[in-house]
Amino acid sequence: MSVTVLIPTALRQYAGGKSEIEVEAGTAGEALDKLTGEYADLRKHLYSDSNALRNFVNVYVNDDDIRHVERLETPVKDGDTVTIVPAIAGGAATEGEVVEAKHGAAVEALPTLSNEEIARYSRHLIMPEVGMEGQRRLKAARVLMIGTGGLGAPLGMYLAAAGVGHLGIVDFDVVDESNLQRQIVHGTKDIGRPKIESARDRLSDINPHIAIETYETRLTSENALGLFRDYDVVVDGTDNFPTRYLVNDACVLTGKPNVYGSIFRFEGQASVFWAERGACYRCQYPEPPPPGLVPSCAEGGVLGVLPGIVGAIQANEAIKLILGAGEPLINRLLLFDALKMRFREFKLRKNPECPVCGDNPTIKELIDYEEFCGLKPQPAVATANHEEEKRLMEEITATELKQRLDRGDDIQIIDVREPNEFEIGRIPDSNLIPLAQVVNRMSDIDPGRDTVVHCKAGGRSAKAIEALQRAGFTGHLANLKGGITAWSNEVDPSVPKY
């Protein structure tokens, strides 16, 4: 049987850069075996050491999750599509229920519209799916947006324009020049301002009839439940796994729908996770990927228009939930590929064993999400072996490196960034070996010479050094502190920062 395996963007670097691969197989497991037989690096991303399919990787045959069919034994036939859907750092409601839960069922209890508002919303009012009643529901609704970044920008602008009466915005970041390629709610004049202030000004200008509440804070296990209780719908525009799980669990515990979106390079996901009606994020992804395995947008990049499309889908879903119109994305995962311009849809199911929304939940209050996602350093155990492993990684500053090079010291510089980052700017005489290849290409690094490893800011190069040491590299390795960004700041400002 010839089947097509679709490879997600984040894993293509381990599959020779290919987006789809034809294999001969009789089951989903066989298809994956054939694939990982050909691309060995891919295997450790898909399977654990005990050969089980990893929890943050879901596999579909056509639009069915194999966990709900026969798992890896799920049969495939000629022409079938096997899709790998990893987590990426992202029943029909009856009428107007999310608003009614708070404001009572009676239409008379909904706020009325002024003549100015009637003029403003006229294109909605003449639609049977919205009408006066729907517009009054929108005015009564309270939507909490987590983040005013790439997804939050279009989301906030469309929700404000549509007349959602109360918008809450949670963010603690300030506007940076590199945000403006996609975060269209902010402008050049806002660089350096808190994002919530910049967003509030823009949204109030779009629609002065709505109330905007801003929370300049990081969403935490301490403040999430209190914040969520005050809102009807929560829209997740975050960019990291701890906050995604926190948003999910807080939504489950407070009974709120979670309008989800996530983006990476040119690929997006969207869904509505609402535990009372269907699957939650944890049903879909019980565990986060280990830190560093799935790159963030800051590391991997994102096409500027992509969050515009995915954020607009989230705004659409939030508005539908408020109106009680149409078919929400409950129990459906929408995948969007901007490069192929293709939407695909997969069925989701509630997992009865889900630790937060299942039949016997073990998570009954919010937990430490940094720890859950493996982002907290484990306490060092003071044994000789661990001491050995934990030896401090040697660092060199950009200024020291420049001094040593000027002195004529023999140093090889290994740049572990991606080729397109190398194109933006480089340290003279450096050799490019991207992080994903560094162990396989260890023989390109001369262990007899002093070696300085660098990336953009120092994180990936530290991982490269650890990986090389684990793989038995014997040479002397030092990490360039602050990466090429520090080189630009301290040594050569003509090297562009990005």
354 token code pair? 């889900």
CA 228 to CA 237: how far, in whole Å?
15
Instruction: Give the residue closest to Zn ion by C-beta.
Output: 354
Nearer to Zn ion, 146 or 280 (CB): 280
| Site track 295-334 with Zn ion (rule: CB under 5 A), x = hit | ----------------------------------------
> What is the x/- site pattern for Zn ion, positions 376-405, by CB under 5 A?
------------------------------
Closest distance of CB 347 from Zn ion, Å = 15
With binding defined as CB under 5 A, does residue 15 bind Zn ion?
no
88 makes contact with Zn ion (CB under 5 A): no
Q: Rounded to the nearest whole angstrom, what is the least distance from the CB of residue 252 to Zn ion in the complex?
A: 7
- Nearer to Zn ion among residue 265 and residue 282 (C-beta): 282
23 vs 275, which CB is nearer to Zn ion?
275
Q: How many CB atoms lie within 10 A of CB 349?
A: 14
Pairing mode of beta strands 57-61, 64-65? antiparallel
Contact residue for Zn ion among 244, 256, 282, 481 (CB under 5 A): 282
User: Is residue 283 at the binding interface for Zn ion, with CB under 5 A as the rule?
Assistant: yes
**Cα angle 366, 261, 376; round to 5:** 40
Residues 333-362 that bind Zn ion (CB under 5 A): 354, 357
User: Which of the residues 251, 280, 283, 297 is marked catalytic?
Assistant: 297
Q: Rule CB under 5 A: say whether 280 interacts with Zn ion.
A: yes
Helix (H) / strand (E) containing 128: none
Find the shortest distance in angstroms from Cβ 285 to Zn ion: 10
| DSSP three-state, residue 323 | helix
Distance CA 61, CA 8 (A): 15
List of residues 6+ apart from 458 with CB closer than 8 A: 479, 480, 481, 482, 483, 486
Q: Please say whether the beta carbons of 271 and 341 come within 8 A.
A: no
CB of 10 to Zn ion, least distance (A): 23
Q: Does 251 contact Zn ion by CB under 5 A?
A: no
Q: Could you please report the per-residue DSSP string of 227-284?
A: HHHT-SEEEE---SHHHHHHHHHHHHHHT--EEEEEEEBTEEEEEEE-TTTS--HHHH
Told to judge if 357 belongs to the known catalytic residues of this protein, a careful annotator would answer no
Q: Which is nearer to Zn ion, 235 or 283 (CB)?
A: 283
Residue placing its CB nearer to Zn ion in the complex, 169 or 357: 357
- Do 443 and 418 contact (CB within 8 A), yes or no? no
Distance CA 147, CA 199 (A): 10
* Residue closer to Zn ion (CB basis): 208 or 352: 352
User: Applying CB under 5 A, which part among 276-284, 304-312, 404-412, 456-464 lies near Zn ion?
Assistant: 276-284
Which C-beta is closer to Zn ion: that of 372 or that of 422? 372
Residue 65, phi-psi category: left (phi > 0), alpha (psi -120 to 50), beta (remainder): beta
Question: What pairs with residue 2 in β-bridges?
Answer: 24
Please provide the distance, in angstroms rounded to a whole number, between the alpha carbons at the two ends of the chain.
47
Using the structure block, give the residue that is written with the tokens 């729907």. 134
Active site residue 297: yes
Give the nearest distance from C-beta 283 to Zn ion in angstroms: 4
Binding-site residue total for Zn ion (CB under 5 A)?
Answer: 5
In the complex, the residues that contact Zn ion under the rule CB under 5 A are 280, 282-283, 354, 357
Query: Looking at the annotation, which residues are catalytic?
Result: 297, 455
